């Protein structure tokens, strides 16, 4: 079997995003053991950096040994016990999945369903909490990767406290790209993934637990179904004065995460959020010049994942194939009911650059000109350039 040389790709899909060469170099660092003092020190560094981007002082702030979906499962399986009522916002693939995960734990999922692309209004949550009390937790997806919808979270934390429910938040496509204020917003369990706005390869799930959440876990009636994701056991490994063996940490991935987080620290969160905003505005201006309109309503559009409706006269799958094959650019198609109807373009972490926005718009225009659905060459680029030169 021959060595593997991947084709050159510009990753502008829903993840993975582009990875900085410093992170790739970190991955290739020779290994030390998972109980080596040098590795334990590195874990402490990663925890400090994760607290920074989660905006939290939570002691239990860690990187789980699995992808974002493992983060989701850990968040639910540690909190939910058989019979517990859990309110789940369902407005896309990941809310839908969360409800399933709740039910697999024996929980009773109370689904708050709204059309895909929209967000769950706080009033809807308030009404449900009032009607369904006691509720163990409210679960919301901050950034719905399947629709590009930006869920408001600020008012929900206080609401949850009022009804003595925990707030669990999926920050997979938000952490490191838009503000995630764990402490200020009163989030009790927040998890993410490395391959989105953190621009690290997939394989780890950053996760943080409030003291309220830890107390709930501590007083469970039955042990958590999962041994691998049991946060009460994992805490013993991630607690600085303990570091008891639970399972072998994915050492190389933790190296990579540390370097990716260091890059974020160097850029600074405000600058990083502004960059994500600017590039998404430019991209969206360009796409709208091509009659590709965003799925979520104004003020609910993520800058990290831009989801646009593809008109019927455009062969959406064919355009994506051409982007990949002719231009080496990956963007995402729709999932579930949105299959064939939308494109999902990720501008996350290292992928969110002016050059990438212009490269993508130019490639879409070229394909559109050939196929006859673009009549004014350069209109999309012009619209984007207008934003970059300070326009609105």
Considering the complex, state which of residue 88 and residue 119 has its C-beta at the smaller distance from a copy of itself. 88
The conformation of residue 351, written as its DSSP 8-state character, comes to G
Considering the complex, state which of residue 57 and residue 248 has its C-beta at the smaller distance from a copy of itself. 248
Helix or strand (DSSP H, E) at 42: helix 37-54
Considering the complex, state which of residue 217 and residue 383 has its C-beta at the smaller distance from a copy of itself. 217
Distance in Å, CB of 285 to a copy of itself, minimum: 26
Task: Find the binding residues for a copy of itself in span 306-325 (CB under 8 A).
Answer: 324
Q: How far is CA 200 from the centre of its chain?
A: 12
Distances from the Cα of 171 to the Cα of 22, 181, 313, 370, angstroms: 24, 11, 35, 39
Task: Find the binding residues for a copy of itself in span 157-186 (CB under 8 A).
Answer: none
The conformation of residue 301, written as its DSSP 8-state character, comes to B
Distance in Å, CB of 192 to a copy of itself, minimum: 12
Distance in Å, CB of 257 to a copy of itself, minimum: 11
Considering the complex, state which of residue 172 and residue 182 has its C-beta at the smaller distance from a copy of itself. 172
Considering the complex, state which of residue 24 and residue 158 has its C-beta at the smaller distance from a copy of itself. 24
What does the alpha-carbon distance between residue 207 and residue 56 come to, in Å, rounded to a whole number?
Answer: 11
Distance in Å, CB of 5 to a copy of itself, minimum: 8
Q: Is 100 in the site for a copy of itself (CB under 8 A)?
A: yes
Helix or strand (DSSP H, E) at 161: helix 156-162
CB distance 176 to 347 below 8 Å: no
Distances from the Cα of 301 to the Cα of 179, 281, 382, angstroms: 14, 10, 22
What does the alpha-carbon distance between residue 281 and residue 301 come to, in Å, rounded to a whole number?
Answer: 10
CB distance 199 to 348 below 8 Å: yes
Task: Find the binding residues for a copy of itself in span 31-50 (CB under 8 A).
Answer: 31-34, 36-39, 42, 45, 48-49
Task: Find the binding residues for a copy of itself in span 216-235 (CB under 8 A).
Answer: 223-229
The structure tokens listed for 323 are 């982007």
What does the alpha-carbon distance between residue 285 and residue 301 come to, in Å, rounded to a whole number?
Answer: 13
Distance in Å, CB of 248 to a copy of itself, minimum: 4
Q: Which of 54, 56, 60, 68 binds a copy of itself (CB under 8 A)?
A: 68
Q: Is 386 in the site for a copy of itself (CB under 8 A)?
A: no
Q: Which of 47, 58, 65, 174 binds a copy of itself (CB under 8 A)?
A: 65
Q: Which of 96, 97, 119, 210 binds a copy of itself (CB under 8 A)?
A: 97
Distance in Å, CB of 142 to a copy of itself, minimum: 17
- Phi, psi angle pair for 251, to nearest 5°: -50, -50
Task: Find the binding residues for a copy of itself in span 235-274 (CB under 8 A).
Answer: 245-253, 255-256, 258-259, 262, 265
What does the alpha-carbon distance between residue 45 and residue 255 come to, in Å, rounded to a whole number?
Answer: 10
Distance in Å, CB of 100 to a copy of itself, minimum: 6
Task: Find the binding residues for a copy of itself in span 185-214 (CB under 8 A).
Answer: 193, 195, 201-203
The structure tokens listed for 126 are 């308030």
In the numeric block, the tokens 């490994």 are attached to 237
Distance in Å, CB of 226 to a copy of itself, minimum: 6
Site residue total, a copy of itself (CB under 8 A): 77
Closest CA to 200 of 18, 44, 62: 18
């Amino acid at each position: 079997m021959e060595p593997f040389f991947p084709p050159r790709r510009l990753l502008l899909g829903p993840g993975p995003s582009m990875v900085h060469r410093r992170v790739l170099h970190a991955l290739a660092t020779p290994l030390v053991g998972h109980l080596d003092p040098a590795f334990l020190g590195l874990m402490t560094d990663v925890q400090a950096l994760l607290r920074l981007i989660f905006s939290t002082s939570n002691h239990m702030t860690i990187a789980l040994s699995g992808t974002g979906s493992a983060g989701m499962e850990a968040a639910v399986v540690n909190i939910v016990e058989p019979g517990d009522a859990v309110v789940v916002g369902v407005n896309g693939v990941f809310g839908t999945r969360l409800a399933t995960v709740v039910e697999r734990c024996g929980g009773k999922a109370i689904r708050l369903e709204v059309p895909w692309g929209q967000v769950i209004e706080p009033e809807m949550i308030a009404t449900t909490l009032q009607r369904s009390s006691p509720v163990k937790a409210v679960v919301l997806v901050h950034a719905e990767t399947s629709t590009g919808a930006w869920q408001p979270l600020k008012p929900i934390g206080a609401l949850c406290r009022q009804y003595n429910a925990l707030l669990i938040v999926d920050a997979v496509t938000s952490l490191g790209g838009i503000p995630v204020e764990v402490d200020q917003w009163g989030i009790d369990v927040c998890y993410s993934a490395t391959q989105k706005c953190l621009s690290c390869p997939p394989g780890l799930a950053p996760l943080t637990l409030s003291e309220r959440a830890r107390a709930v876990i501590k007083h469970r009636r039955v042990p958590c179904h999962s041994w691998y994701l049991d946060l009460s056991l994992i805490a013993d490994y991630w607690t600085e004065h303990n570091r008891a063996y639970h399972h072998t940490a994915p050492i190389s991935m933790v190296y990579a995460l540390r370097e990716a987080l260091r890059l974020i620290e160097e850029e600074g969160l405000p600058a990083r959020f502004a960059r994500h905003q600017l590039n998404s505005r430019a991209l969206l201006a360009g796409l709208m010049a091509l009659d590709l309109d965003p799925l979520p309503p104004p003020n609910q559009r993520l800058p990290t994942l831009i989801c646009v409706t593809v008109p019927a006269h455009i062969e959406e799958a064919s355009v994506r194939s051409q982007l990949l094959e002719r231009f080496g650019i990956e963007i995402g198609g729709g999932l579930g009911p949105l299959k064939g109807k939308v494109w999902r373009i990720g501008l996350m972490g290292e992928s969110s650059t002016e050059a990438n926005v212009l490269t993508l718009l130019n490639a879409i225009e070229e394909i559109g000109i050939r196929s006859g659905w673009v009549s004014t060459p350069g209109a999309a680029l012009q619209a984007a350039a207008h934003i970059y030169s300070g326009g609105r």
